[in-house]
Homo-oligomer: A and B are copies of this chain.
Amino acid sequence: MAGRRLEEYNIVFFPSGLRGTFEPGTGIFEAATRLGVDLATICGGAGECGKCKVVIEEGAEALGPLTPSEEAHLTEEEKRQNYRLACMISLPEGVKRLVIRVPETSRLGAQRLQTEGLEVDVKIDPFVRKYHLIMKRGSLEDDRADEIRLLDYMRDLYGFEDLEIPWEVATIMPKVLREKGGTRGDFNVTVVVYDDKKVIAVEPGDTTDRCYGLAVDIGSTKLAGFLMDLNTGKVVAVSSRMNPQIPYGEDVLSRLTYAKRSMEALKTVQQAVINGINDMITEMCELTGIKPEEIYEGVFVGNTAMQHLFLGIWPKFMSLAPYPAGVRRGMKAPADKLGLKLHPNGYAWFAPIIRGFVGADQVAAELVVDYLEIEDMVLELDIGTNTEITLGNKHNAYCVSCASGPAFEGMMISCGMRASNGAIERIRVDPETRELEYKVITGIWARGIRSCSKYRRTVTKPIGICGSALCDVLPEFVRAGIILPSGQFNKELLDVDPRLRKRPDGQLEYVIVFAEDTAHGKDITISQNDIRELQKAKAAMFTGCYLLMKEMGVTTDDIDELVIAGAFGSFIDPESARTMGMYPEVPLKKIRTIGNAAGTGARMALVSREARKKMEKLADWVKFIEAAIHPDFMKIYPEAMYIPNKNLDLFPETAAILKELGRI
């Protein structure tokens, strides 16, 4: 879309920015579907469920009056604000442009599920392609077997020399060939070819325009699915939900512990995620009118534990030192045997991993950064319970995994919580006055694992603190002098600042929100232990970066770009992270977030054979450092516990600020 201006399209959706030019009379719901706009529905566009409310920002006056269905579903306030049901309106004749906002409550995936990722330019060259054939029916003079006839036509028309027609396709082929042409007509069929080698389906008539694929990022917490048109490489539908494996273990380790009890337990956990993916497929198919049999391939990424639990690889040993993965290369599995609701002869492909702690999601991020092609020195981090970091360029690259722990996800933190309604998502402390401000998440329409239509009640008072705000704690506290660079609370404030106090167990804690202003009537606090957990997490990440820099012989100045991948990374304040010393002190303008790089990489691998080849290459080529046994680890890690670091030479800018504030 580069080069065309907004004005050139007649329907534009916000906040996604998806746009297109449509014939007058096109339904807005249909337009949204065709563009891949994330728009909720239960009834599939029949005006019954009232879920597809949109706000007409521009062009509202050209639309007709409200339909009875809209009268019923819209509140008076919504009517005043130009709300309409997308399924009840269409592009009017003569209107220049409709600008439509999809409010958060009408989006299928809550915004924070970060299904979007970056749009990336790849050459569309998918593994699955369709070829239409019209073949002369046989005669006694030309009594070639159906198989040979089809192969001859595929060779003559499309240049295929050595196609395999597998048994599953061959058995039904004689029937399919004769379905459209009747008993005397030509054979009129579409041949679905996988990897230029194998026919995975023969379909009656010309179905070449319906060729779809699925890309899924399997996070240990969230699933993000993209239904894509393999002919155009465009996303046609998006779906996301919580990973249904969560009941078997909130974190990866406990989930592995559950699964490794027995083959049956493994199957149970595997089936949970397969079911979740199948639900997403059903939802996206209902939304778009695409049939599951029109989806011929799924590409999956996730960490190594997710890989094992999705494919059903026996996971016991990857949870024991030296944490050997069962499979490292990309792994193809037949969709039917896996139980995936794709075309029964279709395939699931789980992208390659690097090690037990550096999974396909990191390889996907490396693909998005494009390490095999770039001259620039790029440091890429995917922050999470394990933080995977890669440093390098096309000449050389290393990666590492740090056990950063779940502190920044709100776990092991006394008032920590997920990024859902009622979570404090930002904290600012005035460095002089210690005046404290915070921001609370409200209005996220959070979806349960199976239910589609439940809203959580909107909460305005805070309940706890989520990761992005926890990320503010260390830098804000140290600048305001609430904690010392060592992480210790500044005891001098004990009698000065009523927020700092001693708990009955003797531990110090700092009150973020007093009970009267919280949803549950209890104080929201940060304790000395919480501070320690955050320090350990950020120290582990910095140590990982440092080990890579040392291995590559690179200083902070040599880093051309610092890329933050992953949902969490998109929400943190890069300056906060840099100030606390989570990563090297590169100029802020060199820091870039790339959102759900795992999902982006999966989409690229789905529509581009080259991208898939690059992933295989990256998984093999990027060198892995085992941080835990690295000789420098025990020197660097304790220094990185300081905020920003004991070695202030590494953080000259931050040191200058803290010095000016008198904190060091």
Could you tell me the distance in whole angstroms from the C-beta of A518 to the nearest C-beta in chain B? Answer: 46
Is A313 a contact partner of B143 (Cβ separation < 8 A)?
A: no
Q: How far is the CA of A487 from the CA of B173 in the complex (A)?
A: 46
Is B143 a contact partner of A314 (Cβ separation < 8 A)?
A: no
Q: Does A170 contact B (CB under 8 A)?
A: yes
Interface flags for A132-147 (1: CB within 8 Å of B; 0: not) read 0000001111111111
How many of chain A's residues have a CB under 8 angstroms from any CB in B?
Answer: 52
Could you tell me the distance in whole angstroms from the C-beta of A293 to the nearest C-beta in chain B? Answer: 17
Can you name the residue of chain B whose Cβ is closest to the Cβ of A143? Answer: B322
Q: Does A99 contact B (CB under 8 A)?
A: no
Which one of A332-340, A364-372, A392-400 is at the B interface? Answer: A332-340
Q: Does A200 contact B (CB under 8 A)?
A: no
Q: How far is the CA of A146 from the CA of B387 in the complex (A)?
A: 23
Q: Does A575 contact B (CB under 8 A)?
A: no
Is B328 a contact partner of A174 (Cβ separation < 8 A)?
A: no
Contacts of A331 on B, CB cut-off 8 Å?
A: 167, 170
Q: How far is the CA of A633 from the CA of B166 in the complex (A)?
A: 38
Q: How far is the CA of A146 from the CA of B304 in the complex (A)?
A: 13
Is B178 a contact partner of A327 (Cβ separation < 8 A)?
A: no
Tallying the copies of this chain within the complex gives 2
Can you name the residue of chain B whose Cβ is closest to the Cβ of A354? Answer: B145
Is B318 a contact partner of A356 (Cβ separation < 8 A)?
A: no
Q: How far is the CA of A4 from the CA of B316 in the complex (A)?
A: 56
Contacts of A170 on B, CB cut-off 8 Å?
A: 311, 313, 326-327, 331
Q: Does A443 contact B (CB under 8 A)?
A: no
Can you name the residue of chain B whose Cβ is closest to the Cβ of A313? Answer: B171
Can you name the residue of chain B whose Cβ is closest to the Cβ of A350? Answer: B167
Specify which of B173, B314, B332, B626 is in contact with A171 (CB 8 Å cutoff): B314
Is B311 a contact partner of A143 (Cβ separation < 8 A)?
A: no
Could you tell me the distance in whole angstroms from the C-beta of A154 to the nearest C-beta in chain B? Answer: 14
Is A167 a contact partner of B329 (Cβ separation < 8 A)?
A: no
Is B326 a contact partner of A138 (Cβ separation < 8 A)?
A: no
Q: How far is the CA of A355 from the CA of B315 in the complex (A)?
A: 50
Q: How far is the CA of A342 from the CA of B317 in the complex (A)?
A: 30
Q: Does A18 contact B (CB under 8 A)?
A: no
Contacts of A324 on B, CB cut-off 8 Å?
A: 138, 143-146, 149, 174
Contacts of A313 on B, CB cut-off 8 Å?
A: 170-171, 173-174
Could you tell me the distance in whole angstroms from the C-beta of A291 to the nearest C-beta in chain B? Answer: 20
Contacts of A329 on B, CB cut-off 8 Å?
A: 147-148
Can you name the residue of chain B whose Cβ is closest to the Cβ of A338? Answer: B167
Contacts of A171 on B, CB cut-off 8 Å?
A: 311-314, 326
Is B323 a contact partner of A168 (Cβ separation < 8 A)?
A: no
Q: How far is the CA of A144 from the CA of B329 in the complex (A)?
A: 11
17 further A-B contacts with Cβ under 8 Å, apart from A140-B626, A143-B323, are A140-B629, A143-B626, A145-B328, A145-B355, A146-B327, A147-B328, A167-B331, A167-B334, A167-B338, A170-B327, A171-B311, A173-B313, A173-B314, A174-B315, A174-B316, A175-B314, A178-B317
5 interchain pairs, CB-CB under 8 A = A138-B322, A138-B324, A167-B331, A170-B311, A178-B317
**3 tightest CB-CB pairs across the interface, nearest first?**
A145-B328, A167-B333, A145-B325
